[in-house]
Structure 1
């Protein structure tokens, strides 16, 4: 379907067209109730002084609580000090590692190197250059990996030591070791040496220019704009459609059909608010939204706004009520008499599960099915992100958000990058600053860098109530003053996990089956948190596993489930579409967006909120 490129309108500083009508205001729920929550109440002068001091410290530490770090190390050190058996084990391991390293060094010096005794991690790409197989670089590499191996053993589980502290000390030690890896230093990295010789040092000059440019952006806290070659609405997020609703929290986009008939039930996509929605509408070849429209569905998608300090009081309830529930109200007006297939991704899936459970409790039957993509409803096994969270850490972040009204982009992205620091931080730094290689943008890297802020109250409620206290699966999460239960959901549910997800580990995502009794399909696909979801048909070397749990059937643990389901080659998208079709009632004539008298078009997709920086 041909499309005329969207005209670039003049925009204000928030990215909205200057002539756009003002959206309906969303009043924070606390104000509507006539009271302020404790964290938002004006603190006593002494408490304000404490919070201001902690907020200043948090800016210096990038949001990481020093107390949490000290507590982890002291807990580890005290338990190790009273464990002579573990001490003896570590001394024996150090001796064994030193012996292996000495034997390998001797063999290298005589030109007969054996197989390397220490192997890098699965995702550690720092050592792929062939120079690391030659002396003396191979010896330096093996010395680093031997040290890393010893510290991994030293910070593993110890009787009496809290597991979170064991994991946290191991994580901290990995960060410290990664900072002194031989791969980071020009004089001992064979790839940097070879590149410097080949270019007569030009790579170092170009790297210095890259470093100066990055430093200026970091110091100025500037947000890099989307490159022209990936312009939003023209290259990315370019699926044709109309904005049919806008309030102060979100825009609702209805996409233009490309088939003569569509399934009677429309699809509502609820993305995470931590990033912009167009991860699901990237380039035309890998856009899930464009593909789903092409399969004959009326697709709606929420585009969250990028909040500022003035939105500090927005709550999770506001996102549910003025996001998901408002979107359903609009869809029910545009497509009357039809239920809705709801699809939530990441945090959007968690919020959708809350909304679906509340609707089931209240006998609201407007949903036809629920799809949860890389979304958790239980956070007891939430992966390495749990390393960053305890009472001290949450309070530290709350003080930071109290002072500025939101959690800013660098304070979020740093935590995600630290989980894969060897690749996302150090390898990138070597490529950019020492090899002089520019960051070549891709559609997904442009999206990753186009981050958003998080309202202070909403993020505090999420961290404390959902993540830290795990209230949803514990049956202690309340909506409108009454507790919800996931077991109330009787709709068909389709749950998608990704094999190498480090944000929402698939075994944690799988636990949706533990807390629900409805008809459920669980699909496990190859890839990570984002790449596994973007698995369009034709994507090379893709596979998935899928299983069906009938309503009321007994629970199977994830490892048993994995052993019972063989991989299927190809993309999981067609499998999901077939499931949607089975839970639909047939086709009707296609619906053009923006033609309903109550919800005329407010502008072309992708709308205005996507442009906010």
Structure 2
């Protein structure tokens, strides 16, 4: 055996040997102790009745869905036999190629990962026959399972969507890259560090289980590096109004002249508003203030049991319409420009339709960020929406009066498990590496609760029954018709959005009765919106009115480099470019309650 470390690194055998048996044995004892703490953090809340013992309803839904796929195949035994033969054939090819490689012959890989798949980047997945076999066997099996769902005949679209989702989750979870003994990188690191990484990882696992009240709350960022109001959400402003539903923030002007019409921003209540006010270099709110807009923002309450009966209508009246009233009074303006993001945009569209029905003309324009008003093509989140699943959710919410924020966070993360779940499981709990400080991921993990009445109404009327698009939604005694919304609308979609697909946003544009400027930004649901011009990232596309098919529109649209923010600012000035002297906070009509960002946004789940 050589004493040369470089020589040891080159030896395929030595890199998979324990370096220091005594230290390794000591760390094994540490693993057992840390695993016990993790188990206690999981079990204790369940013994006290503070956490659900098993997700029996959810598991039953998965089993039922996959059983429906199996039933389709079993009805045609000949097709099932063909599918099985394809699987057996691929495994025989894999075995034959593996034998040839073991004998020193050149043999191609039977199946290769997608170029974008980051899980198998380590050279050992290609160079080591054992790990290469595991990788290919996994890829063959997972792709075959996906094809079984895809090729199941006469399966209703929603069941197929759910089955595809569940197969993706199972496939992602069973990847050999997720286990120490079957991942060459993890195995090398564990042996090189004599198991210290596992001790640290299990310690973090126990901490995250405790932080989640018995459920795993995966840390995605170093939370100790951020504090809302200190290095996040720092644009100067003040809370000038609050009620049970929200706080209203007005931001301090930085220009001598401002646009006459104020701007009211309606963020989603499924996340905290400060995604629009991260660091000063990324803040949309600060940028708008610096362009001469008088900016008001709704900061939604993080609800608890007291808010169980707060309805969609109350969020409209006590949130948006109250915000419009305050913005008009402070600025002494008869009208406001409005912005709605995601579900905040859906509520804003509902509000605009309500105002059209009641003759309220204070909303002069509406800008919608990644907003759906027609949920026919609502993307991957529809996997969670059917009568059975909503009933399960409503039953869970009835106990506390709200949906835990962790449930929503898990739902969003599970749409991209190989990006937002398993890399952190591997890095945190197997490599024992603390995540780096990343403001966007810190915000993503700073989840909020959903009030029971509001969330149930939203799911049933938007995702399940699509009543707004059909002209059947009723709010405050008014039946809503989006065709009566004739105000100008700036409708932003993002090209890689998996929550509000660009095609769905495009289709929704045709439901309004007035002029709609449809714009598509590069990237996805968050990065495509939070894209400061100074960063010069991504691009955006513009064209004429959103008519015809989305694929034809995007094919002929003009591509522009950089951020769409300046284009939007120009559009707002086209609506009304008059300027007035900058306004003071509160305008002499409202007193300052506290400095921005206020207390509502700081309330933790």
Q: By how many angstroms is 1:287 displaced?
A: 0.6
Query: For residues 111 and 543 of structure 1, do their structure 2 counterparts lie closer, same or farther at Cα, with a shift above 3 Å needed?
Result: farther
Contact 1:126 1:423 (8 Å CA) reproduced? no
Q: Corresponding residue for 2:168?
A: 174
**For residues 222 and 241 of structure 1, do their structure 2 counterparts lie closer, same or farther at Cα, with a shift above 3 Å needed?**
farther
How far does residue 104 in structure 1 lie from its aligned partner after superposition?
A: 4.3
* Alignment CA distance shift 1:505-1:85 (3 Å): farther
Whether the 8 Å CA contact 1:58–1:65 is kept in 2: the answer is: no
Pick aligned residue for 2:319 from 315, 320, 323 = 323
Deviates more, 1:461-470 or 1:268-277: 461-470
Q: Tell which deviates more after alignment, 340-349 or 380-389.
A: 380-389
Shift of 1:202: 2.5
Q: How far is 1:66 from its partner?
A: 4.4
576, 579, 583: which one aligns with 2:568: 576
Match of 1:556 among 532, 539, 548: 548
1:132 paired to 2:125: yes
Cα deviation, residue 61, structure 1: 4.8
Q: Indicate yes or no: 2:268 matched with 1:295.
A: no
TM-score, length basis structure 1: 0.85
Q: Which residue of 2 aligns with 1:363?
A: 359
- Residues 1:236 and 2:227 are matched in the alignment: no
Q: CA deviation at 1:535?
A: 1.0
d(CA) in 2 for partners of 1:458 and 1:277? 18
Residue 144 (1) aligns with residue 138 (2): yes
For each residue in 1:375-397, what CA deviation from the matched residue of structure 2 results, as whole angstroms up to 9, or x when unmatched? 11111221221111110111111
How many angstroms does 1:60 deviate by?
Answer: 4.1
Q: Deviations over 1:181-240 (max 9, x none)?
A: 111111121111222244333222221221222222234579999945322112100000
How many residues of Structure 1 are paired with residues of Structure 2 in the alignment? 553
Offset at residue 547 of structure 1 (A): 2.3
Could you report, residue by residue, the CA deviation over 1:327-380 in whole angstroms, capped at 9, with x for unpaired residues? 111111111234211100011000000001111222221122111101111112
Q: 2:181 is matched with which residue?
A: 187
Are 1:280 and 2:276 counterparts?
yes
Q: How far apart are the structure 1 equivalents of 2:590 and 2:206?
A: 49
SS in 1 for 2:238: strand
Say which structure, 1 or 2, has more relative contact order (CA 8 Å, 6+ apart).
Answer: 1
**Paired position in structure 1 for 2:582:** 590
C-alpha separation between the residues in 2 aligned to 1:57 and 1:120?
42
The alignment partner of 2:460 has SS state of helix
- In 1, are the aligned partners of 2:225 and 2:437 still within 8 Å (CA)? no
1:553-593 C-alpha deviation (Å, 9 max, x unpaired):
x8211111111114322111111111111112321111121
The corresponding residue for 1:602 is 593
Match of residue 406 from structure 2:
410
SS in 2 for 1:375: coil
- Deviation for aligned residue 1:496: 1.2
- CA gap of 1:366–1:319, structure 2 versus 1, over 3 A, is same
Mapping for residues 58-207 of structure 1, pairs under 5 Å: 59-62=52-55, 65-84=58-77, 86-102=79-95, 104-106=97-99, 108-110=101-103, 116-121=109-114, 124-135=117-128, 136-207=130-201
State the Cα deviation string for residues 152-188 of structure 1 (Å, max 9, x = none): 1101153321121122222222222322211111112
Which of 385, 389, 392 lines up with 2:385 in the alignment? 389
Give the 3-state SS of the residue equivalent to 1:177 in structure 2: helix
The alignment status of 1:379 with 2:375, answered yes or no, reads: yes
Equivalent-residue separation in structure 2 for 1:222 and 1:330 (angstroms): 41
1:215 aligns with 2:209: yes
Do the aligned partners of 1:157 and 1:163 also contact (CA within 8 Å) in 2?
Answer: no
Partners of 1:175 and 1:220 in 2: how far apart? 21
Corresponding residue for 2:559? 567
For residues 531 and 209 of structure 1, what CA distance do their matches in structure 2 show? 33
SS at match of 2:64: helix
Q: Is 1:483 equivalent to 2:479 in the alignment? A: yes
Per the alignment, residue 603 of structure 2 pairs with 612
Matching residue of 1:339: 335
1:465-518, Cα deviation, whole Å (9 max, x unpaired): 221111110111012122111111111111111122221122112222231242
- Residue 120 of structure 1, CA deviation: 3.4
Indicate how the Cα distance of structure 1 residues 571 and 61 shifts in structure 2: closer, same or farther if over 3 A, else same.
farther
Inter-partner Cα distance in structure 2 for 1:379 and 1:593: 39
Assess, with a 3 A threshold, how the Cα gap between structure 1 residues 391 and 121 changes in structure 2: closer, same or farther. farther
Residue range with higher mean Cα deviation, 496-505 or 83-92: 83-92
* CA 349–121 in structure 1, closer or farther in 2 if over 3 Å, else same: farther
TM-score (norm 2): 0.86
Alpha carbons 1:168, 1:387 under 8 Å: kept: yes
Q: Measure, in 2, the Cα distance between the counterparts of 1:420 and 1:229.
A: 25
Question: Closer, same or farther in 2 for the Cα pair 1:157/1:329, shift >3 Å?
Answer: farther
Give unpaired runs (5+ residues) of structure 2: 1-48
Matched position secondary structure for 2:493: strand
User: Which of 601-610 and 318-327 deviates more?
Assistant: 601-610
Q: 1:548 Cα deviation (Å)?
A: 2.8
